[in-house]
Structure 1
């Protein structure tokens, strides 16, 4: 059953009781990575293995996402700063235990050479069992992020400029 979550704002990315932060580099420039994250929503399943469907809603102000296993999210885009930052909060989900959830993608030029440093923050609030599950699930989420970023890198490398 879908449940409405507590609406949080961008500061939640820093204040959430549970924050999981992952980073990796891709060879594509920030502009291309940003387009894939924020503009080509329907392309997410091609590079993010856990995502089976992603589409814009509300004229681009929101997103609808489905994951393998049946988890669904209805989201509001909180910021879309070209080539730099993309963040959204989950408003409605069928995921158990979650009270608030926000995801932020930060993009910056790679430290050495061309490319982009991609940082993903998963910020959540919920009861103790959820916090424990997220701590225990951190390695799996990290692996999913790294696999997704590698998939994104391959997709962008094979796309026409």
Structure 2
């Protein structure tokens, strides 16, 4: 059973943690950060919600109230997709005659945002993010059942 204070703190802190996770993900290809730390931060945010609120509240947040959800079945494919994406970026660069995991970068102009710098390393980071997020949430779920 959680206290009202803990619930209110998590309601405020969890979205902020997800924003910090997004920041770490976006800056990761140029500065320290990236998919791994972003995945850890996002998983920590969701794990805090699991610990403070009951499982029905989590189902309600996910829009699956009243359904029997096996979270392991949802997290493992997320992790699998992340590994496939991360490895796929290396295989794609190799198939194009480049060295394994070589990346390209460029600039695109978007109205209201201006020039946005992009790099294919973000696809690799996204794969790492998904793999870490899925693995950690599956681990939290298994340990939570104990």
Question: What TM-score comes out, normalization by structure 2 length?
Answer: 0.30
More helix per residue: 2
Q: Which is greater in Rg?
A: 2
More strand as a share of residues: 1
